[in-house]
Amino acid sequence: MASKQTSRRAKAGRLQRQTAEMNTQLVTAGVRQHELTETAEKLNERLKAEITARKNTEEALRKAKDLLADLVAHQEHLVAERTAKLQELVGELEGFSYGITHDLRAPLRALQGFSRLLEEGYGEKLDDTARDYLRRIATSANRMDKLIQDTLTYSRVLRLDLRMENVDAEKLLRSMLESYQEFQEPKAEVIIEGQLPAVQANEAALTQCFSNLMNNAIKFVAPGTKPRVRISAERRGEMVRLWVADNGIGIAERHRENIFGMFQRLDTSYEGTGIGLTIVRKAVERMGGMVGVESEPGQGSRFWLELKAADKVERNS
Amino acid sequence: MKTRTILYVEDEENDVFLMRCAWKSAGVLNPLKVVTDGEQAVQYLSREGKYANRDEYPMPCLVLLDLKLPKLSGLDVLKWIRQQPAIQTLPVTILSSSNRPEDLRTAYARGANSYLVKPPNTDGLVEMVVSVKDFWLDRNQLPPESFPD
């Protein structure tokens, strides 16, 4: 009996323990579940935050992309706008030179012509002073016309598309020497020393350069001196330096840089517009070359222009 | 054979005056008729209005044509001449201040027979008139059909 009671009590105790244990487990499980739920919620939140962040990033990226596209479009627009403006400017320059050519020179022809008619028809009725005034009017008109022509040449050198090709400098110079009496005996002695190589140039522009340099060389000599011009070439790496040396009056050091400037004239007793060397420098620069001068007063001048040597492959063909 | 007329199309009054002087100095006997814009040139050559009077305004054997003209440009006049069956072979010499390559190219492309740049002084002008006379009036053979009055 007593053992039965004992076993029952034991059983109850066991049940009680079991229940307590289950309770504990349940509580633990509840706590655990709660914890898990919390974790899940936290994870969810973090995920949400991440998604939001990613969305934000994507949005920012998209915006940046749009911005970039806008910038590119803007840049392209700017480039197009500037190109258009430049073309407009070139067009205006063209119109300007057209106007100068056609209209500005007409009054000068009239000045020239009528002062001449006056001199021829009424010269006897005028005294020396009056005739001198007339001569000055005519000379000035003539000079103005030369200035206009040289300015036009300069603007042409500025705006024209200079197509580059291989140019046989020697052949070009020899044909120039043959064509102009002022480069020939007895007026002048022009000698080409050695062989001149071919260079990369625009033939018309190079002709203009040589013409200006040679005309200067024979013009700026002391009175009574026969001009002697030596033309030679010197290879300098990829470049060819072409020399035009004269026996002229020479240029003092302080003027040597100036002489390439527009309208610069050192000695007004020699006729000229002061644009010739400006044209040479601009033309040579546009052909990718350089110009310069070595000189001493009374010792002549040695002008040079340097251009790329001709392309060999093309030269053989 | 009677001396044939030259038509000079020029709007610059001074240029016209100096041309007449040079004409005289050079001893050219051919009459020089002058019109002062492109439209008048077309009227002259198509015998419109007062130009119907052939004694007063004979058909020219040569046209000296300035490029920059009021109303109708020299190039337009040239183009018009080349489109008229009756006078399409009429010799036309451009006489312009311009020696711009683009002006030369266009003038020749439109059928100019020669192109002269106006000399800057009177001596040059007289020389030019002499050479025009020597070449165009004496030496050159004009088109045979030229040009019924």
Q: What average pLDDT does range A95-118 have in this prediction? A: 84
Across the interface, do A102 and B98 touch by the CB < 8 Å criterion? yes
* Residue type at B4 in one-letter notation: R
For residues A65 and B86, give the distance between their C-alpha atoms in angstroms, rounded to a whole number.
70
Q: Which range has the worst mean pLDDT, A92-96, A226-230, A313-317?
A: A313-317
Q: Quick one: pLDDT at residue A267?
A: 74
pLDDT at A316 over 50: no
* Residue type at B123 in one-letter notation: D
Across the interface, do A110 and B120 touch by the CB < 8 Å criterion? no
Across the interface, do A110 and B121 touch by the CB < 8 Å criterion? no
Q: What is the pLDDT of residues A138-173, one digit of tens each?
A: 888 888 888 888 888 888 888 778 889 999 999 999
Question: By the 8 A CB rule, do B69 and B27 touch?
Answer: no
pLDDT at B74 over 90: yes
Mean pLDDT of chain B: 91
Q: Which of chain B's residues have a Cβ under 8 Å away from the Cβ of A138?
A: 121
For residues A114 and A244, give the distance between their C-alpha atoms in angstroms, rounded to a whole number.
41
Q: Which residues pair with A303 in a beta bridge?
A: A244, A293
pLDDT at A3 over 80: no
User: When comparing pLDDT for B33 and A123, which is higher?
Assistant: B33
pLDDT at A263 over 90: no
Percent of chain A predicted with pLDDT > 70? 97
Q: What average pLDDT does range A75-94 have in this prediction? A: 86
For residue B148, what pLDDT band results from cuts at 50, 70 and 90?
Answer: low
Q: Quick one: pLDDT at residue A150?
A: 83
Across the interface, do A116 and B12 touch by the CB < 8 Å criterion? no
Out of A98, A107, A113, closest to residue B122 by CB? A113
For residues B140 and A146, give the distance between their C-alpha atoms in angstroms, rounded to a whole number.
33
- The residue behind tokens 């051919």 is B30
Query: Which chain B residues in 58-97 lie under 8 Å from chain A, judged by CB atoms?
Result: 67-68, 96-97
Mean pLDDT of chain A: 87
Q: What average pLDDT does range B72-81 have in this prediction? A: 95
Q: Quick one: pLDDT at residue A2?
A: 64
pTM of the model: 0.65
Contact B141/A at CB under 8 A: no
pLDDT at A103 over 60: yes
Q: Quick one: pLDDT at residue B65?
A: 97
Q: Quick one: pLDDT at residue B38?
A: 94
Across the interface, do A97 and B96 touch by the CB < 8 Å criterion? no
Which ipTM value was assigned to this complex? Answer: 0.73
For residue A251, what pLDDT band results from cuts at 50, 70 and 90?
Answer: confident
Chain A residues at the B interface, defined by Cβ less than 8 Å, are 97-98, 101-103, 105-110, 112-114, 116-117, 138, 142, 145, 152, 156
- The residue behind tokens 């022509």 is A149
Q: Which of chain B's residues have a Cβ under 8 Å away from the Cβ of A152?
A: 100
Q: Which range has the worst mean pLDDT, A195-209, A259-273, A289-303?
A: A259-273
For residues B57 and B66, give the distance between their C-alpha atoms in angstroms, rounded to a whole number.
19
For residues B34 and A111, give the distance between their C-alpha atoms in angstroms, rounded to a whole number.
21
For residues B71 and B35, give the distance between their C-alpha atoms in angstroms, rounded to a whole number.
12
SS3 B92: strand
Q: Quick one: pLDDT at residue B147?
A: 56
Q: Which of chain A's residues have a Cβ under 8 Å away from the Cβ of B68?
A: 102-103
Q: What is the maximum alpha-carbon separation in chain A?
A: 178
Q: CA of B77, closest CA in chain A: separation in Å? A: 17
For residue A317, what pLDDT band results from cuts at 50, 70 and 90?
Answer: very low
For residues B136 and A163, give the distance between their C-alpha atoms in angstroms, rounded to a whole number.
37
Percent of chain A predicted with pLDDT > 90? 38
